């Protein structure tokens, strides 16, 4: 990390605020702002967090749901223990069926909210990184199709680029209501944007690349 980057981070008011509140990442404030606007945690008892490391979103979800609820966090890397009784984490690759099956088994029933802050390791080739990130977002839709309650909520991060509009249409194929939002805590220079969706359609369709797998 460059000295300039560290200096910018320390001067970032959202970074400082997140540290003051005890959150592991400034991204926690993005989720809080989205929930303040949409209220997706209201009455929620079961929450899935995809791409959960380092744990900022897990902290927000934990404090926002019932104490006897369950928040499950999944990431490719180990998540340091949070010491929160309603949070469970494990290492897994959500693009693999084995990981998705483990998620389903942990809950045993449909969930109220699915969060996806997943992003690939950055290669430096923007179009490749954008496509890989959208692919992860599409995998999150496959999980939502099987695990989310019919009136549940989904929050998913995407990167703006050539595939973004197509992904928005795919979200509309799955959900009755879809909103595109950039929280105040997102850096202005960042290409990230969030889609907040509610109410699965009864006649929903998965993204084309997953339809054959679903029908098999």
SS3 141: helix
SS3 167: helix
Across the beta sheet with 111-116, the strand order is 87-91, 70-75, 46-50, 111-116, 148-159, 192-200, 175-181
Give the residue ranges of DSSP H helices in the chain.
Answer: 3-11, 13-20, 27-38, 56-64, 97-107, 126-147, 164-174, 208-215
Instruction: Give catalytic residues, as residue numbers.
Output: 157
Q: Which two tokens stand for residue 41?
A: 């945690």
The HSE-up count of residue 48 (CA atoms within 13 Å, CB side) is: 31
Rounded to the nearest 5 percent, the helix, strand and coil shares of the chain are 40, 25, 35
Residue 106: phi and psi, rounded to 5, are -65, -40
SS3 189: coil
> Measured between alpha carbons, how far is residue 72 from residues 87, 143, 167 in Å?
6, 13, 25
d(CA 109, CA 128): 35
């Amino acid at each position: 990390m460059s000295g300039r980057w560290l200096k910018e981070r320390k001067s970032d008011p959202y970074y400082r605020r997140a540290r003051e509140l005890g959150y592991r990442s400034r991204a926690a404030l993005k989720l809080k702002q989205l929930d303040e606007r949409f209220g997706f945690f209201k009455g929620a008892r079961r929450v899935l967090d995809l791409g959960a490391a380092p744990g900022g979103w897990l902290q927000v979800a934990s404090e926002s749901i019932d104490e006897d609820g369950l928040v499950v966090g999944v990431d490719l890397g180990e998540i340091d223990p949070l010491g929160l009784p309603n949070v469970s984490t494990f290492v897994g690759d959500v693009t693999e069926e084995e990981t998705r099956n483990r998620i389903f088994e942990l809950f045993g029933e449909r969930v109220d909210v699915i969060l996806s802050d997943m992003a690939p390791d950055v290669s430096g080739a923007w179009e490749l990184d954008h496509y890989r990130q959208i692919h992860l977002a599409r995998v999150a839709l496959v999980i939502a199709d099987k695990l989310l309650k019919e009136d549940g909520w989904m929050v998913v991060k995407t990167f703006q680029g050539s595939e973004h509009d197509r992904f928005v249409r795919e979200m509309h194929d799955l959900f009755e209501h879809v909103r595109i939002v950039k929280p105040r805590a997102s850096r202005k220079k960042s290409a990230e944007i969030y889609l907040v969706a509610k109410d699965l359609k009864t006649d929903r369709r998965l993204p084309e690349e997953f339809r054959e797998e679903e029908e098999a």
